[in-house]
Structure 1
Amino acid sequence: MNDTRLSRPHRTFAVDTSPTHPAPPPPHSPRPFGRGFLLWIVLFAASLSLVGRAASLTLEGATAPISPAAAGSIAFVNAATGDEIRLIEPDGSNNRRLWAHGLADPHGVYAVDTLSWRPDASEIAFTSSHENWCSIDLTDIFAVAVDGRNYRRITQAPSCAGLSAFPKGTVRVPVENDNIFGESYTGFVYFQGAPSVLPVSLPPGGSTVLTFNDVADFGDGVPQVGVIVHPSGREISFATAIDVKAGQTLTTGKMDLFVPDIVWEARSPTWRSSGDQIGYILNFNSMFTLPPNPPPLVLGQELQTNQSVLPSFIDHLAWGPPSRAQQLLYRGGEPFDSQGVYLTQEFSAAAGQKLVSHEVWEDIRGLAWLPDGSGFVYAVEETDDSFQSIRANIFEYNFATKQSKRLTNFGDQFVGEVSVSPDGRQIVFDRSASQEPYAPADLYIINRDGSGLRLLAKNGRAPAWSPGALKTPQRAFMPVVVRPR
C-alpha cells in the first residue's frame, strides 16, 4: 500500500481503448464511431496553437412527493452538451449550472461523466476528458466545490492551469519509429508537466527530437515521463523518466514510437464516508485512492492490493456509507463470460464476494448504495431471445435476504446511472430510448417501491443525489476601512 507515482497496468484483455470516446470504454458502452479522428484533429490544432414508456410499473407523470428528509440537490451532466455539471432540486426547481469546462469543442470530443458527492455535500468529484491534452491520461478525476470554485485535478495533479504555479525547465525527448512492419507513425507525444502535446510524424526508421518548453518542475526526486498519444491508445515510455530541473535543458532516454493497444485513464470516482479520500479506477482493473488535494502526479494507495484476482474489467466503484465505511461495491466482468456486482473490503487482497451475477451481454449500467447500508440498487440490461439488449431496468439487492427485486419494468427504455435520496426513499436515474451511452437522455425520479415515476429534467444523465443540504464553503473577507479625506 505504498504511495505510488507510476506503475504499469495489468494488461488483461483487449477492449476498444481509442479516443473515439472521451469516457472509459466498458464492454457495454461502445462509443460512437469517428470520435477518434475528431479528437486527432482537435489535438493537432491545439498542438499547433500551443507549440417502455407504457410498460412502467407506475403511471408516468405521477407525482412522487418530496419528503423533508430527501433534502439536498441533484447534480447531473448536461446530456445535450456533455460539457457541464448542473444542479437541480428534487422538486424540479432551480435548474442551474454548477461548472463547465468552457473549452471550444465543436466536434464533441470532450465529455464529463460519473459524479460523486463528498459526504458533507460540499463538493463533487467527477470524471472528464477535457484536459487530456496536458495529462498522460485520456480521462482524469476532478473536483469542484458546490459554489463552482476550487476546481482542481485529482489524478495526475495539477490541472493544466495549475502548471503555471511551478518553476519551468526544458525537456528534449528523442523519438524513433522502429516499426518492424515498415509503417509510418503519425500521432502525438506528451511529457508530464508540459503545457500540451506535440505532434510527431515519422517514416519507418525515422527519428527526431521533440523539445518541450515550459515544463513544470515538481521538485527534487519527482520523476516525470513521456507518453505516446495515439487514436488507438496511450502508453507511457518509462525510458524517458527524468527529474526536471527549473532553468535547465535536459534530454531523456529514447522513446520508441508504436501504436499502443491500451489506454491510461482514471474513472469512476467515489468518496470515502469520512470525506478524506477519493477512490477511483485506473485503466482496466486497478483501484486506487487519493486525498482530495494530492501532491503532483501521485497515483495514490492501492485500494485492492492483489490486482491479479480482480475481474478483467471493473467500473461503478462505490465506497460504502458510514455503516459500511470499509466496504466497496463495484461491477466486474470477464470477456466472453459473465459479469456481476462485487462487495469487497478496502485494501483487501481479494476480489470480494460476487453478490449479483449476469450474463456477459446483460450489462450493468448503474450502481448505488442505499444510505443505510442495507443493500444497493443497480440498473441492468435485459435481452430478447436472440440475446439483443432491448431495455434496462432498476433492481434492488438486500444484504439480509441476499435477493434482488425488480423496481421498474420499462419495455423499451434504458436506465443508466442511478442514485438514492438521503432518506433512502427515492431513486433518481437517467433514461434513454437507446442503448448507446451518449444517446439523448432525461432524468426521472421514482419511489423505492416502484411508484410515483415522474420526469425531473430533460437532457440529463449521470445523476448524483447529494447526501444532504449543500454545504457552501465559508469564505473570510477583510473589512474595508474608508478614511475621511
Structure 2
Amino acid sequence: MLLPIALAVVALGACDTGGPQIPEPPGPEQPTTPSQPSTPQQPTTPTPPTTGTTGAAAPPGTIAYARGGAIRLVNADGSSDRALWQVPNASLAATIGGLAWRPDGTELAFSSDHEMATSWYERDIYVVSADGARLRRLTNAPALDALATFPKGTVTVRVQNLTGDAGPYFVYVLGAPAPQQVTIPAASSRALTFTNVADLGNVAQPVVVINGTNRWFGDAVADVQGGRSVDAGSLVVTAFGGIPHYGADVPFWRADGQRVGFIGSPTCNLMQVAATPPAGPSQSRLLDPAVFGATCAVDWGPTAATADQIVYVDERRFVDAGEVQFFRVAESARSAGSPLLTVGRYPRITDVRWLPDGSGFLFARTNDLLDQAVNIHEYVFATKAERQITNFTGSFVRQFSVSPDGQQIAFERVTDLKGPSDLWVVRRDGTGARLLVRDARAPAWNPRLR
C-alpha cells in the first residue's frame, strides 16, 4: 500500500544561508550506521581587486563555484578559471547553489532548479563528476533524461480548484516526460491523463500542482505500472495550501561519501539522501525537528572518528531570548544534550563548517541585531573557545568553504545579504584577505590537493 504524503511546517528562525531553504517528504529512513592562530584585524573596506597571491606561497587546490546556471572551477591562486558544467537549457533562468565536494573529490553535489517543472521539488540535489561529464539527480531520482530506460504506464488524476484563481496551473506526475498546463475555473475540477509515465518501481510517485512559487501536493500519488493505467486520486488546490519554494538546498556529505545531507525549504528541515539512491523520492529525515529544532546551518563530521557527528545551529530561543545555540550530536541521538556554544544579542548565522581535522568548526555570524557585518568565527572543541577571524565592517560573509589543510577559507563577500557576491580568500589567522573571483557564489574547496 502506498502511504499518503504528509506535510510538516515549522517556524523559521535566525539563519540566512543566502539561498532558498522543505517540509519532510516521504521515503524510507536511511540506516544510521580539535593550536589556535592569532587574531589580527582585517581592513574595514575591500582591498584592491587581485586574482593572485602576494607574499606567501599560493594555496593549493581547486575551488568550485556557481555563477547563474553554471558551475566553474578556479585554482586557489586565482588562475585557470574554467567551466565545469552548465544547465542543459541555458535560456532558462536557472540558478545553482550550495556546492559541496564528495570527500574523495570525485563528485560535486549542488542544488539546482533547472528541472523545477519536472520534479516534485522546485530545487533538487544533483551530483556531477569531477570532469563534468556525468550528472545524476539524488532527490526524486532520476533526472529527466534518465527516464527513457524505465517501463511506461498511464496515470489519471483529478485536480480541484477551491481558490479564486483559475491559473494557469502546471500539473506534474513524478516520472512523466513533461507537465501539463491547465486552466481550472474556481470551484471546479479537471481530470487529466498522463501517458508515458516511467514506472519507478514500488514507490509512491507524487502529483504536484505548480503556480508561481507555490506547490500543492498531498494524497494524490500513483503506483505506476508498466503497460497499465492507474488512478492517482484527487488533489485539491486551496488558497492557503500551497508551499512556497518547496525544495532541497545546501547539500553536505557524510565523511564516507555514502550519504548527502541537505536543508529542506522553506522550513529548514534537516534531510538526507543516499549518494546512489533508488528511483523515486527516497530522501528521509536526518534529525527530528520536534527534538532538535529546524536548522539552516549544519555540517557533518569530516573524519572517520567524527563521521556520525553533526554540528548544527538551533534557533528556537531566538525570538524569546535573542539566542542561537550550537550543538554537536550523533546521527542516532534521541536528545540534543547541552549546547557547545550559545550566542546572544539576536545574531544572524549564515554558515557553519567543520575544520578538516575535526578539531572544531568555523561559522559566520553578526555580533548583534544591528550589526552591519557578518564575520567568520572559530570554535575549538578542546578549549571551548570562540574567536573572531575576520573583522569586516559594512560587508557580509555568507557561504564559505575551508581548504583541505584547514589554513585558508574561501567565502562569499557581499554588501547586501540578498545581493550578488564576489568570492574572497583569507587565511585562517585572519590575514591576507584577497579577491578571488567576481560575480560568484557557493565556493567549494576540492578536498584533493591538486
Common fold: TM-score over 0.5: yes
> Displacement, 1:199?
2.2
Q: Which of the numbers 62, 69, 74 marks the counterpart of 1:88?
A: 74
Q: Does 1:137 align with 2:121?
A: yes
Residue equivalent to 2:226? 246
- Is 1:262 equivalent to 2:253 in the alignment? no
**Which of 58, 72, 86 in structure 1 is aligned with 2:61?**
72
Question: Taking structure 1 as reference, are residues 30 and 319 closer, same or farther at Cα in structure 2, changes over 3 Å only?
Answer: closer
Matches within 5 A, 1:355-366: 355-358=340-343, 361-366=346-351
The answer to whether the 8 A contact 1:71-1:468 is kept is no
Distance 1:6 1:227 in 2: 13
Cα separation, partners in 2 of 1:293 and 1:104, compared to 1, 3 Å = same
1:13 counterpart residue number: 11
Question: In the alignment, which residue of structure 2 is the partner of 1:215?
Answer: 197
Displacement of 1:444:
1.2
The 1:310–1:408 alpha-carbon spacing in structure 2 relative to 1, beyond 3 Å, is same
Equivalent position of 1:235 in the other structure? 216
Q: Measure the CA separation in 1 of the matches of 2:149 and 2:342.
A: 48
Aligned residue for 2:85? Answer: 99
Preserved CA contact (<8 Å) 2:204 2:280: no
Deviation at 1:209, TM superposition (A): 0.8
Distance 1:59 1:112, change over 3 A: closer
Q: Name 1:309's counterpart in structure 2.
A: 291
> What residue in structure 1 maps to residue 95 of structure 2?
111
Q: Does structure 2 retain, via aligned residues, the 8 Å contact 1:418–1:428? A: yes
Contact in 2 for aligned 1:53/1:411 (Cα 8 Å): no
Q: Equivalent residue for 1:299?
A: 282
> Does the C-alpha gap of structure 1 residues 415 and 6 become closer, same or farther in structure 2, counting only changes over 3 Å?
farther
Q: Which whole-Å CA distance do the structure 2 matches of 1:28 and 1:372 have between them?
A: 24
- Return the letter of the residue paired with 2:349: I
Asked if 2 retains the 8 angstrom alpha-carbon contact of 1:5 and 1:299, the reply is no
Equivalent runs, 1:32-431 vs 2, <5 Å? 54-55=43-44, 63=54, 65-66=56-57, 71-78=60-67, 82-105=68-91, 108=93, 110-179=94-163, 184=166, 186-219=168-201, 221-238=202-219, 240-259=220-239, 260-263=241-244, 264-283=246-265, 284-304=267-287, 306-311=288-293, 313-322=294-303, 323-334=305-316, 336-337=319-320, 338-351=323-336, 353-358=338-343, 361-383=346-368, 387-431=369-413
Contact 2:263 2:270 in 1 (8 A): yes
CA distance in structure 1 between the partners assigned to 2:125 and 2:274 by the alignment:
12
Q: What SS does structure 2 have at the residue aligned with 1:252?
A: strand
Deviations 1:113-134 (A, max 9, x none): 1111111111111111111111
How far is the alpha carbon of 1:162 from its aligned partner? 1.1
Q: Is the 8 A contact 1:345 1:352 kept in 2?
A: no
Q: Which residue of 1 aligns with 2:25?
A: none
Q: Do the aligned residues in 2 keep the contact of 1:120 with 1:467 (CA within 8 Å)?
A: yes
Q: Does the aligned pair in 2 maintain the 1:174–1:255 contact within 8 Å?
A: yes
Residue by residue over 1:228-254, the C-alpha shift from the partner in whole angstroms, topping out at 9 and shown as x without a partner, is 22335223222x222112222333212
CA contact (8 A) 2:270 2:295 kept: no
When the two structures are superposed, what TM-score results if normalisation uses the length of structure 2? 0.85
> Paired residues, what number?
420
Distance 2:209 2:248 in 1: 17
Cα distance change of structure 1 residues 121 and 28 upon mapping to structure 2, 3 Å threshold: closer
Alignment deviations for residues 291-338 of structure 1 (CA, whole Å, 9 cap, x no partner): 22211113345322x331122x31233111114111112233247344
Letter matched to residue 76 of structure 1: Y
198 and 150 in structure 1: CA distance in 2 versus 1, 3 angstrom threshold: same
SS at match of 1:253: strand
Instruction: Supply the distance in 2 between the matched residues of 1:177 and 1:246 (Cα, whole angstroms).
Output: 30
Indicate the SS of the match to 1:161.
Answer: helix
Aligned to 1:19: none
Q: Deviations over 1:47-98 (max 9, x none)?
A: xxxxx9941699986736346xx532111112xxx21111111111111111
C-alpha distance in 1, partners of 2:200/2:388? Answer: 51
Counterpart CA distance in 1 for 2:343 and 2:86 is: 36
* Deviation sequence 1:128-159 (CA, Å, 0-9, x none): 11111111011111000110022110110000
**CA distance in structure 1 between the aligned counterparts of 2:122 and 2:134, rounded to whole angstroms:** 22
Aligned-pair distance for 1:420? 1.1
Displacement, 1:390?
1.4
Q: 2:337 & 2:88 partners in 1: Cα distance?
A: 41
Cα deviation code 1:235-291 (max 9, x no counterpart)? 3222x2221122223332122122434343122211111112212233424333332
Paired residue secondary structure (1:315): coil
SS at match of 1:156: coil
Q: Percent identity?
A: 35
Structure 1 residues 354 and 140: alpha-carbon distance in aligned structure 2, compared to 1, 3 A threshold = farther
Give the Cα separation in 2 of the matches to 1:393 and 1:65: 23
* Inter-CA distance 353–316: structure 2 relative to 1 (3 Å threshold): same
Cα distance in 1 for partners of 2:300, 2:16 equals 23
Do 1:131 and 1:139's aligned partners in 2 also have CA atoms closer than 8 Å? Answer: yes
Q: What SS is found at the alignment partner of 1:136?
A: coil
